A and B are shown apart, each in its own frame.
Chain A
Amino acid sequence: MITKRIIPCLDVRDGRVVKGVNFKGLSDVSDPVELARYYSENGADELVFYDITASAEGRKLFTEILCRVAETIFIPLTVGGGVNTLEDFDRVLKCGADKVSVNSGAIRDPELIRRAAQRYGNQCVVLSADIKRVNGRFQVFAKGGREDTGIEAIGWLRRGVELGAGEVVVNSIDTDGVKQGFDLELLDEVCRAVPVPVIASGGAGSRQDFVELFKKVPSVDAGLAASVFHFGEIAIPDLKQTLWENDIIVRR
């Protein structure tokens, strides 16, 4: 049977890994290549790299780092951040990325999903969405969670999958950085709405949070987190042991 995936996410700015709490107050964590190597040797099932650089120099540096990461690790690598065109897909795929995650770029131009899926295959296109409750409704936020688009989230994800996205990453702004568990209500709704793998993001604080995630929303395929892994609060081998003991099938 297919295993549940555990995915550390590395936000990279100006060549360094950073992690924000509620998307604000970023702090420097570590060297991306070293961190990637560490995770790949310690049980991570996949890595996500987000480029949160704004400058062209930063983007060039990110692309160079990506090539070094891809030479170093032999697990699937997803890259996101600043992906607005097919050329952006091309740029990161040439560095050895396996999948490309689109977020704001797809909100601006949903056809980007279709064109990318046609050129590179559905399995290559990951639709990532930052979602927050607004007046009791799930809404999509853009620009790293700063801007309310007014778009209803579940419908947006469903449309993205129809356009060709092969996986979705659901990042709950409400639970992100709070470390009180994943947004199970939101995740359950998304899993009912789309037939592709769903990756849960935002809110992991303990090993138990991952157990709850996979027990209560069994159709979630993967759990993604950043700071709890980067700061060593959760060691992935320990997490997998805990999941295994709770009858959740993981790769060991």
Chain B
Amino acid sequence: MISVIDYGVGNLFSLCSSLRCVGAEVQVSADPAVLEQADKLVLPGVGAFGDAADKLRATGLDQLVIKQAKKGVPVLGICLGMQLLFEESLEYGRHKGLGLLAGRVVPMEGAIPEKLKIPHIGWNALQPVAESPLLRDVKPGDCVYFVHSYYADGCADSLVATAEYGIPITAMVQKGNVMGCQFHPEKSGPVGLAILRAFCEEEGKA
């Protein structure tokens, strides 16, 4: 059973549909007791980092994610959910993340050439830079769908794929059982589904 963590941000309809499409049993829950039983966890997220981190803390689900991740339960963060895995974010002030991965989330503004539009929105090609089970069926140049204005920086020890947008933007991360996609695999057609399938079929350590 894969549990999608519901902490009150964003719509989980497409994410759940896509996980079911690749054959996963999926439940959405905000209940720590239920989430504790899950074989795998998905941490979604849209909106601003500070709000999302506050909501995760207010529900106590931050500690649940950290505890399960440390036990070896595979965790997949998506978009803002991926950003939350890092130590901190500089989006509208300085906000603490879950600290499961080394690195911090910084604005694209000032880091990418001025002529490029922000947010980075649309289909961009993945460039694998390290091996990862998530990349099992991904070929260099396969495109996935991004929508974001901030990106994870200083995350060399977990970086597994980038996308070129003036600079190499962190697209996928993985360190052991902790994984993340900056893009939306549930909106990335067959390539996105292949990544979700790889996550669903990955053997957990739990």
For residue A67, which residues in chain B have a CB less than 8 angstroms away from its CB? 13
B17 at the interface (CB under 8 A from A): yes
1/0 contact trace for B91-135 toward A, CB 8 Å?
A: 000000000000000000000000001011111110000000000
Residue of A nearest to B22 (CB): A74
Q: Which residues of B are found within 8 Å of A71, using beta-carbon distances?
A: 17
Residues A74 and B124 in contact, CB atoms below 8 Å apart? no
Decide yes or no whether A166 CB sits under 8 A from chain B.
yes
Q: Which residue of A lies closest to B148 (CB)?
A: A123
Of B61-69, B150-158, B184-192, the one with at least 4 CB within 8 A of chain A? B184-192
Q: Does A115 contact B (CB under 8 A)?
A: no
Which B residues are in CB contact (< 8 Å) with A3? 122-125, 143
Give Cα A1–Cα B123 distance, bound, in whole angstroms: 9
Which range holds the interface residue count of chain A? 20 to 34
Interface of A is mostly: loop
- Nearest-neighbor residue (CB-CB) of A97 within chain B: B11
**In the complex, how many residue pairs between chain A and chain B have their CB atoms under 8 Å apart?**
72
Complex-state Cα separation, A1 to B169, whole angstroms: 11
| Residues of A contacting B165 in the complex (Cβ-Cβ under 8 angstroms) | 1-2
Q: Name B119's contact: one of A45, A96, A123 (CB within 8 Å).
A: A123
Give the size of the chain B interface in residues (CB under 8 angstroms). Answer: 29
In the complex, what residues of B have CB within 8 A of residue A105's CB?
A: none
Contacts A1-B165, A74-B18 given: A93-B189 contact, CB under 8 Å? Answer: no
- Tell me, rounded to whole Å, the shortest Cβ–Cβ distance linking B149 to chain A: 8
* A2 contacts B120, C-beta separation under 8 Å: yes
Question: Could you tell me if B18 and A197 are in contact, using CB atoms closer than 8 angstroms?
Answer: no
Contact partners of A196 in chain B: CB under 8 A: 117
Establish whether residues B11 and A94, one from each chain, have CB atoms under 8 Å apart when the complex forms: yes
Contacts of B13 in A (CB 8 A): 67, 70, 94-96
Most buried by A among B13, B122, B165: B122
Interface residue ranges, A against B (CB under 8 Å): 1-3, 5, 40, 45, 67, 70-71, 74-76, 93-96, 98, 121-123, 166-167, 195-197, 221-222, 251
Which 9 residue pairs of A and B lie closest in terms of their CB atoms, listed nearest first? A251-B143, A96-B13, A251-B123, A2-B122, A3-B123, A71-B17, A123-B147, A96-B14, A2-B124
